[in-house]
């Protein structure tokens, strides 16, 4: 057993963006009585999955611009100026015309994060904080020792280290079903190098948002090229040998994602939204539950009143359901590509005039503000959130970058990109012989079965369950518990149960709970034990495993916010 010294030992598992922000918070907290061990499975640090070859090729771009990236050490624009010309040229960056409103190639952003991590390590050293970075070290298990108030971290299946606090930042996970067993079946488009081949036949994509766009950008380049006909107007020219190439996107309700526009507040600051005290007060007045209607009223409608009085006047008496119904029905009435072009034009105007589309920006603010306290809602409100509000939010805050829109429009105009509207029942079937058959029913109720040689699941990072968690000793010893939310009314739970909802389980006091995905955590991301108490030794910010309590969890803003909550909790525990 390798033991750390008399100082508090803190382990960060995973050195992607989450691990980077946790380390930044630790060294900037102004304390010295701790050591940090960072374990990273890869040789690299900082870039994590989306900004390394695991998640990107040269054609993939971020959906945030320099001014939207939380502060690390050096602003992106200053860092770019230190790069050799060849490196910038490789990514098509011209410093003279580059500014902090532009998005970045993801691999270049990964290099930036790597450089920032190195600067943070230097800062840590200058601050006298002992930091050990264990590269190419895969953490294989974690054990809690409550009696000793310690955790044991097992590395590469052999070495064991002892810590006071462990922060799990292991990030994305893409479980495989048929990929690797059935030719032409892909459980995700990652790593994108696997799609860098010529298929030359129709390819089915499940999903139409950012993950699908990643696949489309890669596939398009292997089957033709984009030519700039006029500024911001591309045409797609298929290769002669790729005549049969086509992408067929199966999209829930036939919707395409929303487009990046100018944000008044690029960091979506939450200063104007409900405070911790407001939330506690609402919970006290509301039987211990946070009311979704209250959040919608205060963190959306009230902010809209000042930003867009005309729209506010129209929607002020609408319930959340009525507002979402109005916004969705407008989208559903129009052909998705016609709407996409219209929203592209709206976004161009917004960027040129530096004027936000306020209701969309405020939906992003609402989503960010609601994410953290969502675990305090009743099961009824969580079901409404998922069924009603999240579908609109996830479309609006996709923030598709302009160049991706231009490529999608060019492919559609070249008849190489089709979108099929499907319902929740659409699915892929893999036959015993390995055939891939996509099933869907159209609006008239007609059922279709379409055979494909290639299928790519582009529905993005799925919520994983407690059982999928990689560190098995924590499961075996019941250190973690599944996330669930209490129903306000037993009657509504019983009604859903009678309709066959399998996610409802009875409690001990004639009450009922809704099972939600992943692990139960506190507001500070501590794991919640069997006794319902926070475990002060273990924090979980690995996004796939906390989706139930953090319904809109991803992004660099999440890395910054969650790391802050975790680190202040650790120092509060150890105060004095
Ligand atoms: C394709 C894609 C594109 C995205 N683009 C954007 C964007 O443009 N803007 C934005 O704001 N957000 C974006 N996101 C959201 C993204 O989730 C976060 O920005 C960020 O990557 C999350 O960082 P992370 O460190 O939690 O996870 P990851 O990036 O997955 O990093 C986890 C790290 O932990 C390491 N690790 C895993 N298991 C172990 C183990 N057992 N032992 C040791 N090390 C381990 C991994 O090697 C990896 O380095 C994107 C997400 C995806 C999937």
Q: What is the pLDDT of residue 32?
A: 87
Q: Give DSSP secondary structure letters for 9-29.
A: EEEEE--SHHHHHHHHHHHTS
Query: Token digits for 510?
Result: 């004639």
Is 48 touching ligand 1 by the criterion CB < 6 Å?
yes
**Residue 2 pLDDT > 70:** no
Q: How confident is the model at residue 37 (pLDDT cuts 50, 70, 90)?
A: very high
Integer Rg of the chain from CA: 24
**Residue 266 pLDDT > 80:** no
**Residue 554 pLDDT > 80:** no
Is 62 touching ligand 1 by the criterion CB < 6 Å?
yes
Three-state SS letters, 402-469: HHHHHHHHHHHHCCCEEEEEECCCCEEEECCCCCEEEEEECCCCCEEEEEECEEEECCCCCCCCHHHC
Q: What is the pLDDT of residue 443?
A: 83
Pairing of β 504-506 and β 139-145: unpaired
Pairing of β 2-3 and β 159-163: parallel
Closest CA to 519 of 502, 541, 537: 541
Is 155 touching ligand 1 by the criterion CB < 6 Å?
no
Closest CA to 394 of 425, 422, 366: 366
The whole-number average pLDDT for the span 215-234 is 96
Q: What is the pLDDT of residue 175?
A: 96
Q: What percent of the chain has pLDDT over 90?
A: 87
Question: pLDDT tens, 444-473?
Answer: 899 999 999 999 999 999 999 999 999 999
Query: Token digits for 119?
Result: 């600067």
Distance 225 CA to ligand 1 centre (A): 30
Preceding amide of 191 cis, omega within 30? yes
Is 70 touching ligand 1 by the criterion CB < 6 Å?
no
Question: pLDDT tens, 327-375?
Answer: 998 887 889 999 999 999 999 999 999 999 999 999 999 998 898 899 9
Q: What is the pLDDT of residue 64?
A: 87
What's the predicted TM-score (pTM) here?
0.95
Closest CA to 454 of 185, 144, 136: 185
Distance 47 CA to ligand 1 centre (A): 8
β-pair partners for 252: 422
Q: How many CB atoms lie within 10 A of CB 39?
A: 25
Query: Token digits for 484?
Result: 């669930």
Q: How confident is the model at residue 5 (pLDDT cuts 50, 70, 90)?
A: low
β-pair partners for 10: 36, 165
Question: Which atom of ligand 1 is the closest one to the Cα of 61?
Answer: 8
Distance 86 CA to ligand 1 centre (A): 27
**Residue 410 pLDDT > 50:** yes
Question: pLDDT tens, 159-175?
Answer: 999 999 999 999 999 99
Is 13 touching ligand 1 by the criterion CB < 6 Å?
yes
Q: How confident is the model at residue 3 (pLDDT cuts 50, 70, 90)?
A: very low
Closest CA to 530 of 466, 468, 470: 466
Displacement of CA 550 from its chain's centroid (Å):
10
Q: How confident is the model at residue 553 (pLDDT cuts 50, 70, 90)?
A: low
Tell me which of 48, 137, 169 to substitute to probe ligand 1's pocket, judged by most ligand atoms within 8 Å of the beta carbon: 48
Q: What is the pLDDT of residue 271?
A: 67
Tell me which of 55, 170, 367 to substitute to probe ligand 1's pocket, judged by most ligand atoms within 8 Å of the beta carbon: 170
Is 189 touching ligand 1 by the criterion CB < 6 Å?
no
β-pair partners for 167: 12, 539
Q: How many CB atoms lie within 10 A of CB 43?
A: 7
- CA atoms of 556 and 65, how far apart (whole Å): 11
> First vs last Cα of the chain: how many Å apart?
29
Distance 484 CA to ligand 1 centre (A): 25
Mean pLDDT over all residues of the chain?
94
- CA atoms of 522 and 532, how far apart (whole Å): 10
Which residue has the CA at smallest separation from atom 51 of ligand 1?
50
Question: pLDDT tens, 557-576?
Answer: 999 999 999 999 999 988 86
The whole-number average pLDDT for the span 492-516 is 94
Q: How confident is the model at residue 268 (pLDDT cuts 50, 70, 90)?
A: low
Q: How confident is the model at residue 153 (pLDDT cuts 50, 70, 90)?
A: very high
The whole-number average pLDDT for the span 256-279 is 85
**Residue 411 pLDDT > 90:** yes
């Amino acid at each position: 057993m390798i033991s750390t010294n008399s100082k508090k030992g803190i382990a960060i598992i995973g050195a992607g963006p989450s691990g980077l922000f946790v380390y930044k918070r630790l060294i900037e907290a102004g304390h010295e009585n701790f050591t940090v061990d960072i374990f990273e499975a890869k040789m690299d640090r900082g870039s994590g999955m989306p900004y390394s070859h695991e998640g990107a090729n040269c054609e993939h771009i971020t959906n945030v611009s320099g001014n939207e990236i939380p502060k690390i050490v050096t602003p992106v624009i200053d860092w770019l100026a230190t790069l050799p010309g060849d490196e910038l040229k490789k990514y098509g960056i011209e410093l003279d015309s580059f500014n902090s409103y532009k998005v970045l190639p993801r691999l270049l952003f990964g290099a930036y994060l790597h450089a920032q991590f190195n600067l943070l390590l230097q800062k840590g050293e200058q601050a006298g904080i002992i930091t050990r970075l264990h590269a190419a070290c895969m953490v294989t298990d974690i054990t809690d020792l409550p009696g000793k108030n310690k955790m044991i971290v097992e590395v590469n299946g052999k070495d064991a280290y002892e810590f006071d606090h462990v922060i799990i930042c292991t990030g994305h996970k893409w479980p495989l079903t048929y990929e690797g067993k059935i030719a032409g079946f892909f459980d995700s488009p990652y790593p994108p190098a696997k799609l860098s081949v010529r298929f030359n036949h129709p390819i089915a994509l499940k999903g139409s948002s950012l993950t699908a766009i990643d696949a489309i950008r890669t596939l398009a380049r292997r089957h033709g090229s984009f030519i700039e006909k006029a500024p911001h107007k591309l045409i797609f020219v298929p290769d002669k040998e790729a005549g049969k190439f086509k992408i067929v996107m199966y999209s829930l309700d036939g919707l395409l994602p929303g487009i990046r526009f100018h944000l008044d507040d690029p960091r979506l600051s939450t200063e104007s939204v409900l405070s911790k005290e407001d939330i506690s007060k609402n919970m006290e007045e509301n039987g211990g539950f946070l009311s979704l209607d209250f959040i919608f009223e205060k963190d959306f409608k009230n902010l809209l009143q000042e930003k867009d009085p005309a729209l506010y006047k129209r929607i002020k008496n609408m319930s959340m359901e009525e507002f979402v119904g109005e916004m969705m029905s407008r989208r559903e009435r129009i052909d998705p590509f016609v709407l996409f072009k219209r929203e592209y034009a709206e976004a161009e105007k917004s960027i040129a005039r530096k004027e936000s589309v306020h209701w969309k920006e405020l939906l992003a603010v609402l989503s960010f503000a609601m994410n953290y306290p969502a675990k305090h809602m009743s099961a009824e409100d969580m079901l409404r959130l998922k069924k009603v509000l999240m579908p609109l939010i996830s479309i609006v805050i996709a923030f598709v970058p302009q160049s991706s829109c231009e490529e999608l429009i060019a492919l559609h105009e070249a008849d190489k990109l089709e979108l099929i509207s499907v319902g929740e029942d659409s699915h892929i079937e893999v036959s015993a012989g390995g055939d891939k058959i996509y099933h869907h029913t159209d609006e008239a109720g007609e059922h279709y079965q379409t055979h494909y040689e290639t299928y790519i699941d582009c529905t993005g990072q799925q919520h994983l369950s407690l059982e999928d968690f990689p560190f098995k000793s924590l499961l075996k010893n019941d250190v973690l518990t599944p996330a669930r939310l209490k129903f306000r009314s037993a009657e509504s739970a019983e009604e859903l149960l009678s309709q066959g909802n399998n996610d409802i389980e009875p409690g001990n006091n004639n009450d009922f709970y809704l099972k939600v995905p992943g692990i139960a955590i506190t507001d500070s991301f501590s794991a919640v034990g069997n006794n319902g108490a926070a475990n002060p030794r273990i924090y979980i910010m690995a996004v796939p495993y906390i989706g139930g309590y953090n319904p809109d969890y991803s992004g660099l803003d999440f890395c910054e916010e969650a790391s802050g909550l975790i680190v202040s909790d650790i120092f509060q525990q150890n105060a004095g």
